[in-house]
Structure 1
Amino acid sequence: MNKDISPPAVTGVGVAVVPRQDTDEALWDIYLINLRDTPLENILITSQGYGSVDGVDKTTTILRHFHQTLPSREAIMIEPIQSSLFAISNEYWVSFNDGEHMLDKRYVFAPGTISEDTLVDLPVLDRPGVIQQ
């Protein structure tokens, strides 16, 4: 019976990694961006890093974030991230209500995909960063 249920695909929602401006530290920030014409409601985000660095398995703590709403065409900061974690996969699982449906999508930044060389102009934030949609 589960095969007969097909929830709508998540579109118009992105997770972006943005370098901090005006700082000497190697810190970046993770943002949730709503590119939709409707707000996101009851947003739950889990984040975790995992992978191998120099042959040693590395896993970060699972963090959970909740936001009541994210208006249309706006962004919210989820958490900071150190550039040393770009050598492992960084996963953000985003769930939210869309009318009567609860939608979710997994965004994974693979090792090496976040760097100064991969920056693009981000919508809504009007800053350079790396985005998964």
Structure 2
Amino acid sequence: MRKDIVIPEVRNVYVAAVYEFNKDFNTYDWNAYIINDGSVGLETVLIVTQGYNEQKMTAPLRHSLKLLPPKSYARIEFLEDSVLQLANFFSVTYFIGDTLYDKRFELPANSVIEDNSVMLPVMGKKGVLAR
């Protein structure tokens, strides 16, 4: 029975932390984004985020998007500095047609720094990609 279950591979979908200017507070902040570099839109996108280590754990936050069009991105949440000291996980679930896709992305503790930035697909900005 288990051998008959097909688990589709997530491709061209990324989670990244981007360091950008916040006009409202006149500061530079890290923000998490989901990126769809595919040629098909993602439907009913559900994202659960949580950070933790051996001593601390954040409350899980839930986010949803009705549709993430192809070659686009959407902001997930602001990443406060104290949370960046924790391992941060982003569980992303979405549909393409009738097929459900699921992947857990990780930003390891203390990995969100400008030295780890790479050029991000679609966004045209530098950021830290989650694994």
TM score, norm. by length of structure 2: 0.91
Taking the aligned partners of 1:124 and 1:21, their CA distance within structure 2 comes to 19
How far is the alpha carbon of 1:4 from its aligned partner? 2.3
Q: Is the 1:65–1:78 contact (alpha carbons within 8 Å) kept by the matching residues of 2? A: yes
Q: Aligned match of 1:78 in 76, 79, 84? A: 76
Give the Cα–Cα distance (whole angstroms) in 2 for the partners of residues 103 and 32 of structure 1: 14
Q: CA RMSD in A?
A: 1.6
Matched with 2:65 is 67
After superposition, what is the alpha-carbon deviation per residue over 1:27-75, rounded to whole angstroms, capped at 9, x for unaligned? 21100000100000000000000014xxxx1111100011100000000
- State, as a whole percentage, how many aligned pairs show the same letter: 35
Could you tell me how far 1:132 is from its partner in structure 2?
A: 2.6
Which of 36, 39, 48 is 1:37 aligned to? 39
Q: Which residue of the partner structure matches residue 126 of structure 2?
A: 128
Q: Is the 8 A contact 1:48 1:62 kept in 2?
A: yes
The question of whether the paired residues in 1 share the 8 Å contact of 2:119 and 2:126 is answered with: yes
Report the residue type matching 1:19 in the other structure: Y
SS in 2 for 1:21: strand
Listed as ranges, the gaps of 5+ residues in structure 1 are none
TM-score, normalized by length of structure 1?
A: 0.90
Count matched residues: 129
Q: Aligned residue for 1:111?
A: 109
1:48 aligns with 2:50: yes
* Structure 1 stretches of at least 4 aligned residues deviating more than 3 Å after TM superposition: 22-26
5+ residue gaps, structure 2, are none
Work out the CA distance in 1 between the residues paired with 2:57 and 2:28. 20
